[in-house]
Amino acid sequence: MPVSRSVVIGVDSSTQSTKAVAVDTATGEVLGLGRAPHTVTGTGGARESDPDQWWTALVTAVRAAVREAGLAPEAVTALAVAGQQHGLVALGADHRPLRPALLWNDTRSAPQAAALTDRLGGPKAWLDRTGSVPVASMTAAKWQWLREHEPHHAEAAAAVRLPHDLLTERLSGEALTDPGDASGTCWYSTADGAYDPALLDLLGLDPALLPTVAPTGASRAGTLTAAAAEALGLPRTVTVAAGTGDNMAAAVGLGLGSAGLLDHPVVSLGTSGTVYAATRTRPADPALAGFAATDGTYLPLGCTLNCTLAVDRFAALLGLDREDALPGGETVVLPYLDGERTPDLPAASGLVTGLRHTTDPRAVLGAAYEGAAFTLLRALDGLLTACGLDPADPAVRDRPLRLIGGGARGRTWTETVRRLSGRPLVLPAATELVALGAAALAAGAATGEDPVTLATAWGTGAGETLPAVARDEETWGRVEGVLGAATPGLLS
């Protein structure tokens, strides 16, 4: 028999797939989960996807979640989408994609990012306006790349969207984004809370092409269009929230911002690695993305391109299972197989040093873990410093890290982060934090309640706590030394 209760749906449209969760509004219980894959194409620095497949995947995943939950369609009251950040979707006059979307990890726009930085007067000018300095990941750099390499597409664009914007518009018929995802474009001012006219002029981007910025991701975009309702098998009365970017939704799912800010910095181990924390301080550090959170606070974030995917590639090259690893010892790996974003080394490649005849292949794999974890934790130290904290202060170092993402389910990842950070770790039990954060945004749009407070009550950020172990200073120093030698001046 169908379940009779009030349910919201949270959608995580990520790089590789779409996940949808059907959640009991009152308790936060996940009643159903649906998944559908995406295809990413491109060689070298190119990474692209057909935006239409995101919609197909969303429909498949939502229908699967509702079906698994055993729900009557009328039980669903609201829906929200959290999407991969930074992707550039250019739509023509018919509102169809002019070309495949340029994804966040497409590094071809690195030269445009550097040129844009110089044209505005350097990093500080960008930090003052947007909180971030353009790198290849940012949407502004991708738009400039399109203008230079495919001007016919740039000139034909009748609308410019981020991935989550596109899906929200397909659901509700409203062109709406939120402060969190908008802050990843580098044409939105986190200082002013609006699109920056001077930056749009610099980019030759007509503001009429952009969606309206809603006050929060829990703002109500409207209800399902007739076409969306039919595709999803849901009533037209389902509320659609403005939604947000994936990192901002994960922060909501973790309850960040509801209590002491910066008490629970997050390390996320996915295709990319991210570190972030909720704060009311607007940091200005060129090594960070100075994002807005979806609730009006800030979510400074450091992102690395090479995390679980890069380590898995080393495992495949070595013919090892990903868990068949040993500490690296004198072997050091910088697993920058796709260039790197933090540190900003878009043209970098992987580096392996310290090999001997006697080197165990398992130590090489362990060194790949260490190199990826070091890069993330070094970015975390920079984030804390930018927010006015001393990472070496014992009171700061004793604060637990929330470890999330697919890698957080792996023993070697967990132990490597624990050993190199010297911090206690919290491993949230919930596995789909982005989708759960989106569900909280949907519930907020439907009920008017604060999404972070809802997620905290649901307990989605709770989980096992691992006590701290002594920090492995020897390995940290060895990796730091190799990075410094390979990139003179970077660590000065």
Query: Which residues are catalytic, by number?
Result: 246
Q: How far apart (Å, rounded) are the C-alpha atoms in residues 168 and 396? A: 39
SS3 335: coil
b/e code 33-48 from CB counts within 10 Å (16+ = b) = bbebebebeeeebebb
Tell me which residue of 154, 226, 239 sits closest to 449, measured CA to CA: 239
Please give the torsion angle defined by the CA atoms of residues 205, 210, 214 and 220, in that order, rounded to the nearest 10 degrees: 180
Q: How far apart (Å, rounded) are the C-alpha atoms in residues 184 and 87? A: 9
Q: How far apart (Å, rounded) are the C-alpha atoms in residues 22 and 71? A: 9
Please give the torsion angle defined by the CA atoms of residues 115, 119, 124 and 126, in that order, rounded to the nearest 10 degrees: -80
Tell me which residue of 58, 10, 63, 51 sits closest to 36, measured CA to CA: 58
Query: Residue 394 belongs to what H/E stretch?
Result: helix 394-397
Which residues make Cβ contacts (< 8 Å) with residue 378, sequence separation at least 6? 480
Q: Which two tokens stand for residue 223?
A: 């209800």
Are 313 and 330 a contacting pair, CB within 8 Å? no
**Cα angle, residue 209 at apex, residues 205 and 213 outer, rounded to 5°:** 105
Strands, E assignment, 26-135: 30-37, 48-49, 76-83, 89-91, 101-102
Are 66 and 234 a contacting pair, CB within 8 Å? yes
Which residues make Cβ contacts (< 8 Å) with residue 460, sequence separation at least 6? 28, 253, 254, 255, 428, 430, 433, 436, 437, 440
Phi, psi of 119 (to 5 degrees): -65, -30
Are 429 and 463 a contacting pair, CB within 8 Å? yes
Task: Determine how many CB atoms are found less than 10 A away from the CB of residue 491.
Answer: 12
Tell me which residue of 269, 245, 257, 322 sits closest to 428, measured CA to CA: 269
